Amino acid sequence: MGLVLCAVAAAGHGLRADAQTIQIDGAGATFPYPIYSKWFSEYNTVRPNVRINYQSIGSGGGIRQLTNKTVFFGASDGPMTSEQLQAAPGRIVHLPMVLGGVVPIYNLPDLAADLNFGGTVLADIYLGKITKWNDPAIAKDNPGVALPASDITVVHRADGSGTTYIFCDYLSKVSPEYKSKVGVATSVNWPAGIGGKGNEGVAGLVKQTPGAIGYVELIYALQNKIAFGSVQSHDREFVRASIESVSAAAAAAADKMPEDFRVSITNAPGKNVYPISSFTWLLLYESPKDKERSRLMVDFVKWALTEGQKYCGDLGYAPLPEGVVRLEMEALNKIKVR
Amino acid sequence: MRAAGGWGGASGSRASEGRGFRLGTGLVALLVPAAVAGIAVVLTSGSILSIKEFGLSFWGTRTWDPVAGQFGALPFIWGTLYSSVLALLLSTPIALGIAIFLSDLSPYALRQPLVFLTELLAAIPSIVYGLWGIFVLVPIVRSLEMRTPAWLRHTPLFEGPPVGVGMLAASLILAVMVIPFTASVAREVLKAVPATQREAAYALGATRWEAIRATLFYGRTGIIGAIMLGLGRALGETMAVTMVIGNSPAISLSLFAPQYTMAAVIANEFTEAADALYLHALMEIGLVLFIITVAINALSRLLIWRVAAERQPRVVLPAAAPIG
């Protein structure tokens, strides 16, 4: 109940701070919150009359609030489903803002090298089919590594999360069994393991439990200097997640980008492409009632996609490739601003 | 508001003053049942899709699959009740020990500092308990689990891999959180037992232990109330539990098994639930928790009435009303 009340209170509608300043309210995904808040505060120095207020209440909450029009814009780590789009009172535009990756982390104290994970191997671990670290399937991808005979403790996110969505999206693409037994969502019915709350919960459980494996956002692993494994890409090479290899996944997708930008870029083809990558989207109504705020938001998105991308690296986000930015600039012109 | 004015008004006669006062306090007292009814209405209307879809089977289904749209509350009901009952079993003897020591045995100089410290435990936010649980309690529990002898690990109560997080860690942390509540209320109850009770017991040649037993018996309804207050706290606790219980919707007797509670699944999954049925299923979990809490409170009331109605022993003065 508390959560509902907080969410409702947090979304209090666009009050004007004073006569000149216009406040725009948004809500949604927690994953891009650090870069969004950086952008909003930087943008406020460029355009002092615009104050953008963002509540990171989760992608699902953001979509709900946007559908109920209690906020002006939403944000989500997974694209809205066709069902959700139909339930909305107007046409919604998806705009990719930055990129994120999800990396496997593990606790094997005596290991010298970073591990390689094949896609199906990772799926079988999370299905509870591979239960020992020295399983031949893991050994095959890690020649010369002395794997211990210890049990694998699977750790996943307990809270609904875009990170889980991206991770399951990848595993479902590489393993038909994972797709039919688990599927893709922000929360799933896990066949194995224990749940930690948030990236910090998963990382904490993995750190404390010898033999544990978990998954966290790339940015979280980088900021906290957590070692992580490489994952097999679509082109069968083992790729280590980095800002470059995540950006490469988006560049690969730019050629076949659907008009509405609702695209999954996990397991994308190409060289040095990290397979567990995803966009995170900003959600706007194509023709909202409040055209003044619409114009200000379009201006902001244009700024964030060009000028704003330079703040990505420092915060550990992968910037959008130029091809995608160009497509988005065209799409932004379709949003009604008067 | 009008009623309050009537009470304080200089012009009103004594009779209307009394009426106004009764009306005013009556309205305020009605606020509580109105709030309870409001919660019930909101929870029911918010979960109507799920109630229609699953009916009563929601209470007995083990599956919780947001992808397939299959929802059942059984693992969460089990986890909530099991962890709360275990926490009560662990906390009640300790809390009563604290209460007895503080009311009857403690040297005067120690009493106030100890009371203060016990109540301080109640003031710690649950997220802090949760962090303490993850970083201190869980590693201890894990090493205990690893040292459990193999023959014991094959019994249903202790089976499963030693991961540290799970039912044992959750009920331990709940016990620690519940102790200050039960202990301070039980202490107040014992303090309120008239001194004549103890004096009468001593006069009859009772030992200290026997006198304390007589005191405990005298205050038994209040003490049951104190334990039930702790149970209420344990049932609804969210943050600390979700950080150490493992969040796995499984039904197991094992203390080592990761499990889940109703409050924890709502807190974990509510923000990301965008699908209508999913959202309603989560609301229905809240409704189930609400119904169970109300039922347990009603049962504890019944228990208190029954205990209070029992024939009282000779040492208890008939004029004094039971506390609680």
Per-domain residue ranges of chain B:
74-311
Provide the CATH number for the domain formed by B74-311 in this structure.
1.10.3720.10
Burial class (CB in 10 A: 0-12, 13-18, 19+), B194: middle
User: Residue A162: what pLDDT?
Assistant: 87
Q: Do B271 and A195 touch (CB under 8 A)?
A: no
Which superfamily does CATH assign the domain made up of A2-99+277-334 to?
A: Periplasmic binding protein-like II (3.40.190.10)
Question: With contacts defined as CB-CB under 8 Å, which chain A residues touch B261?
Answer: none
Q: What is the mean pLDDT of residues B4-29?
A: 73
The Cα-based distances of B93 to B97, B104, B307 in angstroms read 6, 16, 19
CA distance B67 to chain A (A): 6
Question: With contacts defined as CB-CB under 8 Å, which chain B residues touch A188?
Answer: 65-67
User: Residue B311: what pLDDT?
Assistant: 57
Q: Which site among B271, B278, B284, B288 would you substitute to test the A interface, given the most A Cβ atoms closer than 10 Å to its Cβ? A: B271
Which three-class secondary structure state does DSSP give residue B17?
helix
User: Residue B313: what pLDDT?
Assistant: 52
Half-sphere exposure in the Cβ direction for B99 (13 Å, CA):
30
| Contacting A residues, span 79-98, partner chain B, CB-CB under 8 Å | 80, 83-84, 87
CA-nearest of B59, B33, B86 to B289 is B59
Low-confidence ranges of chain A (pLDDT < 50): 1-18
- Asked if A269 and A123 touch (Cβ cutoff 8 Å), the reply is no
Partner A contacted by B263 (CB < 8 A): no
Q: What stretch(es) of chain A map to CATH 3.40.190.10?
A: 2-99+277-334, 101-256
Question: With contacts defined as CB-CB under 8 Å, which chain B residues touch A151?
Answer: 161
How many beta-carbon contacts under 8 Å exist across A and B? 108
Partner A contacted by B75 (CB < 8 A): no
| A6-20, B218-232, B255-269: range with lowest mean pLDDT | A6-20
User: Residue A30: what pLDDT?
Assistant: 84
CA distance A107 to chain B (A): 13
Partner B contacted by A233 (CB < 8 A): no
| C-alpha to C-alpha distance for B265 and A189, rounded to whole angstroms | 12
pLDDT digits (tens, 9 = 90+) for A92-142: 999 999 999 999 999 998 887 889 999 999 999 999 999 999 999 999 999
pLDDT digits (tens, 9 = 90+) for A77-87: 888 988 889 98
Q: Do A3 and B286 touch (CB under 8 A)?
A: no
Q: Which site among A64, A77, A132, A208 would you substitute to test the B interface, given the most B Cβ atoms closer than 10 Å to its Cβ? A: A208
Partner A contacted by B139 (CB < 8 A): yes
pLDDT digits (tens, 9 = 90+) for B144-202: 998 989 888 888 999 888 888 999 999 999 999 999 999 999 999 999 999 898 889 99
One-letter amino acid for residue B13 of the chain: S
Partner A contacted by B63 (CB < 8 A): yes
DSSP string covering A200-224, please? HHHHHHHHHSTTEEEEEEHHHHHHT
The angle at the Cα of B46, spanning A197 to A14, to the nearest 5 degrees, equals: 75
Question: With contacts defined as CB-CB under 8 Å, which chain A residues touch B65?
Answer: 188-189
Question: With contacts defined as CB-CB under 8 Å, which chain A residues touch B248?
Answer: 190, 193-195
CA distance B318 to chain A (A): 45
Chain B residue closest in CA terms to A161 = B272
What global pTM score does this model have? 0.84
Is the confidence at residue B321, as pLDDT, over 80? no
Name the class of domain A101-256: alpha beta
| C-alpha to C-alpha distance for B46 and B279, rounded to whole angstroms | 8
CA distance B156 to chain A (A): 19
Is the confidence at residue B315, as pLDDT, over 50? no
Q: Which site among B134, B153, B272 would you substitute to test the A interface, given the most A Cβ atoms closer than 10 Å to its Cβ? A: B272
Q: In what order do the strands lie in the sheet with A238-239?
A: A116-117, A230-232, A238-239
- Asked if A231 and A276 touch (Cβ cutoff 8 Å), the reply is yes
ipTM (interface predicted TM): 0.80
